[in-house]
Amino acid sequence: MTRTLSAGDPAQVGGYRIVGRLGEGGQGVVYLGEAPGGRRVAVKMLGAGLDDPDARTRFQQEIGYARRVKAFCTAQVLASGELNGSPYVVSEFVDGPSLAEMIRERGALRGAELRRLAIGTLTALSAIHQAGVVHRDFKPGNVLLSRDGPRVIDFGISRALEESELAGEHLVGTPPYMAPEQFGGRAAGPAADMFAWASTMVAAATGTPPFGAGDVPALINRILYAEPDLGGLDEELRDLVARCLVKAPEARPTAARALLGLLGLLGHHVPEQRLLAEGQQSAAPPPGRVPGRRWWLVAGAVTAAVAVTAAVLLTRPAPPPVGTGAPTLIAAPLPAPREGRMELTSTAKVKIPDTKITLYENPADPIWVSSYHDQRDGSGYPSYVRDPSNGTFGYFGGFEEPIVSPGGGYVASLSATRFRTPDFESVRIRDRVTGQDRQIRTVDKPATLFRPNWSADGRRWLATVIEDQEQDRVVGFAVVDAVAGTVKITKVPGGNDVRFGWGADGKSVLYEMPGGAVRVLDLEGRALRTFMGVGELYEGGAARTTLGSIFSTKCPDISANVCFWDAESGAKKGVARLPKGGAYHGWLDDAHFLATTPIGKNTDVVLADATGRTVRKLAAGRKTEIARVVLWFTRK
């Protein structure tokens, strides 16, 4: 809470207007400031401890190092200087309570909330240590809980103060969170931060640091010689915290190693080059109400998952984009999607990690579950992508929606964090030939992208463009060329609840109009054909099947049935009758479509023929899990 200024407070510091007090402690006073453009900042005026010129020089050097820290779960240092002989530091303002306030007012943290705190603070310490900075006063009061996740503040300041103090006469730090070496006159390095991190996690989980508080001499004695009290700390954190609380600093894990280990415990397999980004994403709290009703965090998971299956049907490559003038960004040719039909029997069972869902597979299948994302409450919304070399699922990111292209050449993903960007959105494209990620800018705000699906050749990616997220007002579609790195936005007069899908030829799109009509457009948005009264269009676009090139709708006469219509003439080509409670999810190969069928408390994901008859089980699990763990089927 911001308090009013007193008579002795400055009106301006380093070009920042001071508008209120945020707090006061042993190191000085923290003010709320405003930049000339209105951006809010935190301004910390330091008190005693930097009285001589050498100390101030060291301070400026340390703050210079702190400004190099990457902005992952930290409050960035923006500026520093002196005002009337008193040093100050300007940092990013984080709007949220401290962890200390949260513990005091609400009590201990548990479950997913505690995991996100652990991941976020380890991410911050990894970034701080990578920059050659040691925090030296990590504690609950220096962790702020913002809407985007935990943020660590005040790194770099304690070291400057420490080097200016008289050794052995003053303690720099907060005793309940200090490491044994800090009491013995030894230099406090990154390992001391890990001891403080573990002490902070115990305090967050139990309300009390592991060696207690109170009388300082007795507290120091316990830190030096006693075993920590970990209370009821969650099992998945308990071992890691215990290893960080050992007396010998060289025996403690580094922040990066601890973060990798913690993400690994949760089933997230992260390459080290993406560690900070993955840590920050995994630490973000679940979004509240996500704008728009059709994003992947809402229900209808399997429907959304198999909306891409139209893209697995075509095996002829589409023609290259015309007139882009952009260079090709990969040297190797795209892997060709495997041809053929699904086998009618399964020979292997594969468990989806961290779930009770079982996949029933056959090595000869040309199509498999290539990615999935977990939308269950408390899961952290992790996503996983399958390794084509060994069939295992590896962690891709939190709050991501990764969809593998047919043939496996690319992974495209929209992130929930796009809703927080003020200016524009981007799609993350991972080139699986080179292993490189690119962020391709797509639409300017207030527009956003929904309902993505790949073209059958695995080259282009189609999404619906929504401008008014509250009303789902669709304004057109976007086509991203993953090879060239280009984006084309086509405006289409539409309305609410419109979804675009690929045409069977890969050179057109189709969408549902009011009144149960379906329209086919070319990629410039010109109308090619309109079919009246065919019913509500299923997602996934058109497909080449044994019935011809067709699109699928809820039959206008009996909505429980699925009608198949010729994509050129609009003639009805067939009807599928599903079992009671069954649901249609798009064509999987040219003779079969994907469906779900309730079996008591469970749900089966099945392969069905053109009449709706089940010919094989592809996956099974509890109804609640199948509804919230999204499985994407694509051609290998």
Residues known to be catalytic: 137
Measured from the Cβ of residue 549, the count of other Cβ atoms closer than 10 Å reads 18
Measured from the Cβ of residue 495, the count of other Cβ atoms closer than 10 Å reads 13
Alpha carbons 418 and 487: distance in angstroms, whole number: 17
Residues 151 and 121 sit within 8 Å (Cβ to Cβ): no
Phi, psi of 538, rounded to the nearest 5 degrees: -80, 150
Cα distances (Å, whole numbers) of residue 598 to 149, 325, 585, 625? 38, 50, 14, 12
Tokens of 46: 């330091």
Task: Please enumerate, as own/partner, the contacts of 47-51 that have beta carbons within 8 Å and a separation of 24 or more.
Answer: 47/86, 49/161, 49/164, 49/165, 50/87, 50/160, 50/161, 50/164, 51/164
Residues 311 and 454 sit within 8 Å (Cβ to Cβ): yes
**What's the per-residue H, E or C state across 123-162?**
HHHHHHHHCCCCCCCCCHHHEEEECCEEEECCCCHHHHHH
Contacts of 422 (CB under 8 A, 6+ apart): 445
Alpha carbons 166 and 189: distance in angstroms, whole number: 18
Measured from the Cβ of residue 505, the count of other Cβ atoms closer than 10 Å reads 18
Burial (CB count <10 Å: 0-12, 13-18, 19+), residue 4: exposed
Residues 629 and 301 sit within 8 Å (Cβ to Cβ): yes
Alpha carbons 157 and 188: distance in angstroms, whole number: 14
* 27 Cα distance to chain centroid: 36
Report the candidate in 171, 186, 253, 187 with the shortest Cα–Cα distance to residue 220. Answer: 171
Report the candidate in 74, 68, 69 with the shortest Cα–Cα distance to residue 279. Answer: 74
Alpha carbons 87 and 76: distance in angstroms, whole number: 17
The radius of gyration of the chain's CA atoms, rounded to the nearest angstrom, is: 28
Alpha carbons 491 and 422: distance in angstroms, whole number: 22
Alpha carbons 332 and 244: distance in angstroms, whole number: 46
Q: What is the dihedral of CA 322, 327, 329, 334, to 10 degrees?
A: 40
